[in-house]
Amino acid sequence: MNVARSFNTWRKYRQTVSELGRMSSRELQDLGIDRADIHSVARASVAR
């Protein structure tokens, strides 16, 4: 994997973590996501 691609993957991961982290527990619950699972969800989002 080249440097630019790695950076873009990392940036997408951080953006996902940030966006989910700003949500309330209620909003996360509505999406079926536990606050403890935010990093796992973000990793899954960049693995696609």
* Predicted pLDDT of residue 46: 93
How many domains, in total, are found in the chain? Answer: 1
| Rg (alpha carbons) of the chain, rounded to whole number | 12
Convert the pLDDT of each residue in 1-48 to its tens digit: 699 999 999 999 999 999 999 999 999 999 999 999 999 999 999 997
Structural domain containing residue 26: 3-47
pTM higher than 0.85? yes
Residues 6+ apart with CB under 8 A from 42: 13, 14, 16, 17, 20
* Predicted pLDDT of residue 3: 95
